[in-house]
């Protein structure tokens, strides 16, 4: 009934914030000791290990997990982590973020159920806004607000 | 009637793709010579310079530009570029991407009209998907498809 977050990148803090605010139990597996200590000091469940190794995934109780999220800035590491998680548990939900849009298909082939490309979404919203089409911030805020997790709510 | 793209980061290729596919004229200002040469080889209008200097912005005809887009991986550089562009032209549309969500407000204060946080949007969509809420890829594809610029159209 918990979520396993693999690695640490630009998307990780927003992910951890959403999980915390949603009262969703989670474990983070990060290779960097300083980062692990910092997250642990903030009260999070942390395992200091390579997120694409089998042992830490088992220690994080992958067998009972609801989902695995992998969203580092390194798509190759994400792919390796997805392959490991999928091999250990064919039926767990795996979601991933492709830093490079071209890696969406590869991450799916590695076993991710859902892959999004924040850069593609962000680039699109920026260009729409630059050309004065629609209200980009409204679109962005609507996405963020649909579960009431944006800072602008009050 | 053109768009000026400042700097080069993870969001830049999606931005350049959208502008090219939309037949929107644009100029890219990048500090890195190798990157500038590569973009120029691909037929783009490129100025090799610091995107927060005044001179290249004037050379890129900021006076006649529709909009300025700044979306590097370094929010401090984005902020400096926004400040420069806003100072040179109080009425141009400026859009920016905050790599760190906490910098949204600072980039607005620097003068950006619209600031989005791709990491916040991406993190939110990933958590929604991890928890099995809604169809995240549908949401993501709907965003990308509303102007027909996604790869999945056919
Ligand atoms: Ca990634
Ligand atoms: Ca940025």
Of residues A71, B81, B35, the one with CA closest to residue B97: B81
* Inter-helix orientation angle B136-145/A118-130, to 10°: 30
Split at pLDDT 50, 70, 90, the class of B101 is confident
Contact criterion met (CB below 8 Å) for A93 and B35: no
Task: Tell whether the model's pLDDT for residue A148 goes beyond 60.
Answer: no
Q: Residue A146 pLDDT > 80, yes or no?
A: no
Is the predicted pLDDT of residue B150 greater than 60, yes or no? Answer: no
Q: Residue A149: pLDDT above 50?
A: no
The band of B154, judged by pLDDT with boundaries at 50, 70 and 90, is very low
User: How close is the Cα of B85 to the center of ligand 1, in Å?
Assistant: 31
**Per-residue pLDDT averaged across B79-84, rounded?**
98
Cβ contact (<8 Å) for A131 and B15? Answer: no
pLDDT in the model for residue A144? 66
Ligand nearest, relative to CA of residue A72: 1
Q: Does B25 touch chain A (CB under 8 A)?
A: no
Question: What string of DSSP letters covers A90-107?
Answer: TTSEEEEE-SSGGGHHHH
pLDDT at A145 (0 to 100): 55
Tokens read off for B38? 């590569």
pLDDT at B152: 38
How far, rounded to the nearest angstrom, does the alpha carbon of residue A39 sit from its chain's CA centroid?
16
Q: How many CB atoms lie within 10 A of CB B154?
A: 4
Nearest alpha-carbon partner for B111 in B92, B80, B83: B83
Following DSSP, what letter does each residue of B127-145 receive, concatenated? HHHHTT-S-HHHHHHHHHH
Percentage with pLDDT > 70 across chain A: 86
Q: Looking at the CA of B96, which ligand is closest?
A: 2
Instruction: Give A92-115 pLDDT, tens digit per residue.
Output: 999 999 998 889 999 999 999 999
For A54-74, the pLDDT digits (tens) are 999 999 999 999 999 999 999
CA of A59 to the centre of ligand 2 (A): 36
Which of A44-53, A82-91, A114-123 is least confident?
A114-123
Task: Answer for the pair B8, B71: CB distance below 8 angstroms, yes or no.
Answer: no
């Amino acid at each position: 009934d918990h979520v396993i977050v693999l690695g640490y990148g630009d998307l990780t803090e927003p992910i951890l914030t959403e999980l915390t605010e949603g009262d969703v139990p989670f474990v983070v597996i990060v290779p960097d000791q300083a980062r692990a200590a910092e997250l642990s000091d903030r009260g999070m469940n942390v395992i200091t290990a390579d997120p694409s190794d089998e042992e830490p995934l088992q220690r994080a109780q992958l067998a009972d997990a609801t989902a695995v999220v992998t969203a580092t800035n390194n798509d190759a590491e994400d792919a390796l982590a997805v392959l490991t998680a999928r091999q250990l548990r064919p039926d767990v939900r795996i979601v991933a973020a492709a830093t490079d849009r071209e890696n969406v298909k590869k991450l799916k082939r590695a076993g991710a159920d859902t892959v999004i490309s924040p850069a593609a979404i962000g680039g699109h919203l920026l260009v729409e806004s630059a050309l004065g089409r629609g209200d980009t911030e409204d679109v962005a805020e609507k996405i963020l607000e649909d579960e009431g997790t944006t800072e602008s709510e009050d």
